[in-house]
Amino acid sequence: MLENIEITSPFWRERQQTIARQMIPYQWEVINDLQHVDIAVTNTGGDSSALDSDKSYVVENFKVAARKKQGDPNPGKRGGMVFQDSDAYKWLEAVAYTLECQAALELRHKADQLIEIIGAAQEDDGYLNTYFQVNEPERKYQSLYMSHELYCAGHLIEAAVAYTKATGTTQFLSIAKKLADNIDAHFGPEEGKIHGADGHEEIELALLRLYELTHEERYLKLATYLLLIRGQDPDFFGAQQRRDVALGRKSLIPGLEIIHPDFKAPYFQSDKPVYEQTEAKGHAVRVVYLCSALALGAALSGDERLKKAADNYWRNIVMKRMYLTGAIGSSAHGEAFTGDYDLPNDSIYGETCASVGLIFFAHYLLRAQQNGAMGDVMEQALYNTVLAGMNLDGKGFFYVNPLAANPYLSQVNPGLRHVLTRRPGWFACACCPPNLARMVMSLGHYVYHVSNNVIYNDLFVASTARFNLNGAHLTLKQSTNYPWEGTICYEVPQAEQSFTLALRIPQWCEHFTVQLNGETKADYQLEQGYLKVQLQQGDKLVLTLDMPALRVAADPRIDADYGKQAVVRGPIVFCAEEVDNGPNLQCLHLGADLEGHYDPNLLGGVYVIESHGQRRTMQEPSLTVASPLYHKAQPLHYQAQTIKLIPYYAWCNRAEGEMRVWLNPMP
């Protein structure tokens, strides 16, 4: 098993330091309402005017719940979204991973303060959700279709597991176990319990992680039950909706009716049991959180039903419903998957949280199957959509991640208003910023995994890692300037016995070389995308991946990309921005060449690709100001233009303007 890892990669250290020094303290100010911030509205549905635009209420809600618990007749207002508690929990999880990376006494002090406040708000029976404690205590566990009670509980449990591992303290874990036991008392197959799960998956994965830490079988049993009960009664959520309407209860999302045409069983992945599902349907984040639990559950329990469900979802998402950038969820309507090959670039939703969840899914599948293609998808989502979710300074965030954007159209087209061309400082639905923070700060957990005493290298990240393989300790040092360069060097300064290292060979790499102690190895075999090498103390292994800039084309069934090309280099997807190439990016045509270089002075240091292409001109007689909108087709005119491409993750950090990933080839 991996005991600990220190990230030394300049690329990732810079981002972790930005998050630790800027983003997490900034988020602390926001969730405590200590800093004024204009809170942007996301396309989550409902009436956004019903929410405050300058206050998050996150920490305040726990204080209000604690005062009400203590009998205060005027405890104050509970504000924000019904799932607002989860923002605090994800912040705490990001702090936990930060404490693994560095000593941060002030941050630890703030986290302990928040844990005290959360504990004070918890009911004696373990229940903890500030919305229902303060606003509608009689409605607990009765509106699971949209209550997010178990979703919030799951984020608390995941945060507590991470915090316990990072600090060795158990106060937060005690809160989490008390809450998990409350859920166990209310959900299960026994008579008198609730025979259903939450409308937003998350608790299942959290209980599995709690089981891994505590080895208490009841948490594994409850997680498996919640996974397998979903879809057994396709009308479970519908019945709760109808009951709430009959009782005259208000919607938990302001302005959004309870019985809504979108909120049917497929939206909640509950139209059939999980092991019968063959398509990713409904809310994208819900889907990948469910999938992550299916994959981890299969790895921990060996349950074939969970494995089958995870495999079915994986194939459908990756083969038919995923963007080149690792984004998922093509529709803003319900933040959802739609159909196979329906992948529009401009109206995409592509929520940051969904790609974070896709990374979780890939990581847990790797533990169960050791298939390098899953590592490819993991880094695809990580280096593109996830990193694009924040400004380089860590103080602005994307909820939606388009592959084509036009500021003018985002303003005038209601169908594109969710596509922002400037990253806001915060959101009314603020799930993405802390989710991104916990993902990047926990990166060390995704670099390697161990199975049957084989160390699998899933991500190429300069680091020093220490392992314990059945009592034998070893240290593995990885040095690389990835993703800008394709050479990865492994050294074994200490190993009590020989071991096997499995190197992921990405599918984008057509040629690679391997040298062990200066000698080129030619007698290697790839097994499901991994190259296995036997190592011992003192060995030095060098893997060199060819990393040319490549043009890629999409499956012709993807209408939005038909006849177009995109440029990738290694795991990085590139894009054209108006600031470099002028407006009307749809008129650009890539040239035959792709010439690249690293520019240390641009966007914090990025690889830049240039192509001697062409631009269709607007000089034809048919394209004068007074000409008709449509006209007889005539020969087209072009002028030479050098097209400059930057990494997709770095767009929208300079002047506001158009952006496009998919471009025309030469005419």
Catalytic residues, which ones?
335, 431
With beta carbons less than 8 A apart as the criterion, state whether 293 and 204 touch.
yes
**Residue 79 structure tokens:** 């504000």
CB atoms within 10 A of CB 19: 26
Rounded Cα gap, residues 196 and 188, in angstroms:
8
Residue 520's SS3 state is: strand
Q: Are strands 426-427 and 448-451 parallel, antiparallel or unpaired?
A: unpaired
Burial per residue of 475-492, b for 16 or more beta-carbon CB atoms within 10 angstroms, e otherwise? ebbbbbebbbebebebbb
* DSSP states of 302-348: --HHHHHHHHHHHHHHHHHSB-TTS-B--BTTTTEE-STT---SSS-
Angle, CA of 101, 482 and 578, to the nearest 5°: 105
Q: Which of 281, 441, 284, 288 is nearest to 360 (CA)?
A: 288
- State the residue for tokens 């060995």: 539
Burial of 542 by CB count in 10 Å (0-12 exposed, 13-18 middle, 19+ buried)? Answer: middle
The Cα angle at residue 25 between residues 22 and 26, in degrees rounded to 5 = 75
- Bridge-based pairing of strands 499-504 and 454-457 is parallel
- Tell me the C-alpha distance between 262 and 266, whole Å: 9
Q: Which tokens in the block code for residue 279?
A: 């398509």
DSSP annotation of 636 reads -
Cα 222 from Cα 621, distance rounded (Å): 71
Q: Where are the alpha helices (DSSP H) in 102-235?
A: 105-121, 130-134, 149-167, 171-186, 203-214, 217-229
CA separation, residue 97 to residues 93, 157, 159, 604, 636 (Å): 6, 15, 10, 24, 56
Cα separation, 274 vs 595, whole angstroms: 47
| Token code pair at residue 225 | 């039950």
591: enclosing H helix or E strand: none
Taking the chain, what is the end-to-end CA distance rounded to the nearest angstrom? 54
One-letter amino acid at 33 equals D
Whole-number Å distance between alpha carbons of 117 and 103: 23
Q: Where are the alpha helices (DSSP H) in 203-264?
A: 203-214, 217-229, 236-246
Half-sphere exposure of 76 (CA within 13 A, CB side): 15
**Burial environment of residue 308 by CB neighbours within 10 A (0 to 12, 13 to 18, 19 or more):** middle
Distance CA 306, CA 290 (A): 10
Residue with tokens 């990166």: 443
